[in-house]
Amino acid sequence: MQSWIRSHPHPPYQEHLSFRLGNQLFFVRVIDADDEVAGLGSVRGLFSVAEQASGHACTMGMRRQGLAGRWQPVDPGWGLRNATTGALVDPVALVSDESTPMSAWEMHHLAVQVVEENLIADGYSEVSMQPNPRVSPSIWFVGDSGELEWVVVRCTHDLRADPVRPHDWDAIAEACAAKSEVGHFAWVVVQESAPDRPGIEAGLSRPRRGHELSVIYSGFEDE
């Protein structure tokens, strides 16, 4: 099963494209094979997100071809190369039957998506998000007053855990104050839907890649 993680051109740019295939994650930086055009973002950012997500950092070399000068991949197959070694990458060959827990990055990315989609469903059209768990806030949106508001998102797989604002909440609020003093906290629980292994029902085991998930989110945990 393949699913896109990132397939849009909007910032921030740690990777340009990313997707899951089976139990593997792939993060792709699109590059000009002739080094004439510098893409947004950096290789450092690519390696950072791939490391956080326990995924593969890849590049996709492109070159203008034909009379129309359209960009086309220069390599065969998936058009991907290992960003470290330069070797061709076949994602299918890297997929296995191994039970692979979701990384903290994956869970956080999903949680941010859930909150973002709920805001859009509630009629907030001007919503922007960034999925890096090391950066807060995760979401900015235009609130009912017409002014910017921000959201810090945290997640867990443990149903017993209580929603707790991050210890650096005041520092986050201070950093955001120049743009907005209205901040929110969102708490999301991510679990596997089918309790077919020990610890799932109690939320003790991290969800696995490729398995059906259950998400619990009930809105902002504002005081």
Q: What is the pLDDT of residues 105-121, one digit of tens each?
A: 999 999 999 999 999 99
pLDDT 10s digits, 152-198: 999 999 888 899 999 999 999 999 999 999 999 999 999 988 656 55
148 contacts 140 by C-beta, under 8 angstroms:
yes
Alpha helix (H) ranges present in 53-158? 91-94, 104-121
Region 210-216 average pLDDT: 90
Q: Which domains does the chain have, with CATH numbers?
A: 2-94 (no CATH), 104-216 (3.40.1350)
Peptide bond into 12 cis (omega under 30): yes
For the chain, percent of residues with pLDDT exceeding 70: 94
How many angstroms separate the Cα of 146 from the Cα of each of 130, 133, 180?
21, 27, 11
- Per-residue model confidence (pLDDT) at position 194: 66
What pTM value is reported for the model? Answer: 0.85
- The helices-and-strands tally (H runs, E runs) of the chain is 4, 12
- Per-residue model confidence (pLDDT) at position 2: 66
The Cα 124–Cα 144 span in angstroms is 8
Angle ∠(148,154,159) on CA atoms, nearest 5 = 140
- Per-residue model confidence (pLDDT) at position 182: 97
Region 116-127 average pLDDT: 93
Sign for the CA dihedral angle at 83, 84, 89, 94 comes to: negative
For the chain, percent of residues with pLDDT exceeding 90: 76
The Cα 94–Cα 87 span in angstroms is 13
- Per-residue model confidence (pLDDT) at position 126: 87
Region 57-69 average pLDDT: 93
pLDDT 10s digits, 6-26: 988 788 899 999 999 999 999
Q: What is the DSSP letter of 199?
A: T
